[in-house]
A = this chain, B = another copy of it.
Amino acid sequence: MSRAAIQPLKLNQVTIDGLFWGKRLDTNRTVTLKVQYEQSRGRLDAFKLDWKPGQPNQPHRFWDSDVAKWIEASAFSLATHPDAALEKRLNDAVNLIASAQQPDGYLNTHYTVVAPEKRWTDLKDGHEMYCAGHLMEAATAYYEATGNRTLLDVMAKMADHIDSQFGRENGKRRGYCGHPEIELGLAKLAAATGNDRYLQLATYLLDERGQKPHYFDGEITSRGHRISAAKEGHDQHERFDYYQAHKPFREQKDIDGHAVRALYLLSGAIDIARETKDAKLLNVCKRLWRSAVEKRMYITGGVGSRRNGEAFTFDYDLPNETAYAETCASIALAFVAERLLQIEPSNEYGDVLERTLYNGILSGISLSGDRFRYANPLTIHREALSPAINRVLAAPRAEWFDCACCPPNLARVLASLGHYAYSQSKDAVYVHLFATGRATFELGGTEVTLSQTTDYPWREQISFNVELDQPTTFAISLRLPAWCRKPTVKVNGKSVSLNAITTNGYASIRRKWSDGDHIELTLPMPIERVHSNAQVRNNAGKVALQRGPIVYCVEQVDAGEDLHRLVLPVDAPLKAQWEPRLLGGVMTITGKAKRQSVDGDALYSTAAAKWQSVPFKAVPYYAWGNRKVGEMTVWLREGV
């Protein structure tokens, strides 16, 4: 492996617009970011440090991270859409945050004003390093967008402070945060500042985690409390895997515990492996990646199937009605995919990135951009719509959450979408995502613009046009999604044989490119009937529909109640149909299905099922719940 084999293009090198993403990104900038600011103002004010005991709005231990994600998302937006007012607001916020830093570098609103005597005494649940990690991410994004070092310096000082408190050296405590995040924050800080000490600190935090005796047990006993045994399966919050402290990271075989924590940690570990050229660590990371995506991932790219503990469970355990599949967990999975992609371009990673972006992540936000989901179940049953039953999973999208991790996470992912779309090495550009727009970069001493035009993911054709001043030799490497059986590529109208030039699902077209050269990539996207591995008991006998990267679902508003009575015959003809006025413009899948009749009142009977033929319509999963509230299902019974 090589350090940073390829690098994502910077946000200001990429534009994304066009049919699918254009409106979503506009909405993110004009609606979601504004909602996020309004929701975060009180939490930003906490940095004034003027809260006094007895007053309302006591700064919570998570709050700093919400502010951080607003800064980060706004900075991403500034990078592509300069906005003097927004920049002014960001500068003010950053200066306020800087003013809250303590002389020793410590920075945390909750522990500074609410419980100063408890600083660093509850790493298990205190979220101090977690908040610092998010502020480090914000600092690097803000620095990259504006060149302003204020927050970067603040967070470097905070990192120095943490480094002075925690480590294996004498006089330091061997602690680490119960919620991983700072590991990847420190890696970004190291890259932005060039200071490798931050990477060493991240490495220490990664490797100390899960060592025995458990640091968290020591915390508990030093507060005079009794340690309760890790109660397997009983109270997830008592289990070390909730904190990614069940075993040292390098010894982990399966991805376990709280999904967001597991995947943030995995992201940080990949950063460390890449930057320290630690091939063994990278192998651990790939093992955990495969555990997540080959055994424990919903077809939507959702992960973490259990609400209790927001956790991964066990291989092939993918219940649909009770799927937790937290929006943040899908986003964290995209973080992991993107990092592995930069180390080794492969559609193994790029396809999951695409899957979760178009499905499990986008389902977390309404088309209007101002309603959000925390959990993303794959089936909503009729009774689940009643508040008495399962309300967290089945509730409609909400305006915000007390524990507000998901909405700002959505905002920052969408605001930085360009970051996921292209990478470059010294002699190649990589196209990971298909979206109308332009990427500008330098290769072989020449500035190149690669423009992309497509109605993807609805249409199969993607056109690339090369603009450059002088003919230059380099490779344009296109991801060929594994869902596509017969991709074709033409360069300047001539077919290219893909077998010879494709490695790990990336077709690398290396030639001397001239201005005006163009590529036609065609990704045929018939409607596919997808089945789960036979070991997934939850989907036995069921089928899901996918077209291109889009996973479909059926909603009650189209199909009536009791979606479990709907059966899609194996030979039912299905067609894709463009519906410009539905759900912001979507390709639907329509056809005929069967519906089991309710035949009498008997609860149990020996009578054979009775059927009627019914029209069938499926819509993209990401768009569910944007019409009338009702049932929904991704997996359908398949029949004859």
Contacts and interface: CB of A to CB of B under 8 A. Distances in A.
Interface of A: 232-234, 293-295, 297, 299, 313-314, 316-317, 381, 383, 386-391, 528-537, 540-541, 544, 562, 564-565, 567, 596-609, 637, 639-640
A399 to B, nearest CB: 20
Contacts of A609: 531, 534
Nearest to A570: B608
The 4 closest A-B pairs by CB, nearest first: A537-B564, A233-B388, A232-B388, A540-B564
A387 B233 contact: yes
Given A564-B537, A637-B540, A383 B604 contact: no
Interface of A is mostly: loop
Contacts of A603: 293-295, 297, 316, 532-533, 536
5 contacts: A233-B389, A317-B383, A530-B606, A532-B604, A533-B605
B562 A531 contact: no
Contacts of A606: 528-531
B540 A565 contact: yes
Contact of A535 (B299, B390, B598): B598
Q: Which of A391, A603, A637 has the most CB of B within 10 A?
A: A603
B605 A530 contact: yes
How many of these chains are in the complex?
2
A537 B313 contact: no
A529 B607 CA distance: 9
Contact of A534 (B387, B531, B534, B598): B598
Nearest to A297: B603
Contacts of A530: 604-606
A391 B596 contact: no
A381 B233 contact: no
A608 B604 CA distance: 31
B232 A607 contact: no
Contacts of A297: 603
Contacts of A567: 541
Contacts of A534: 562, 565, 596-599, 609
A639 to B, nearest CB: 8
A207 to B, nearest CB: 26
A533 B598 contact: yes
Contacts of A608: 531
Nearest to A608: B531
B233 A390 contact: yes
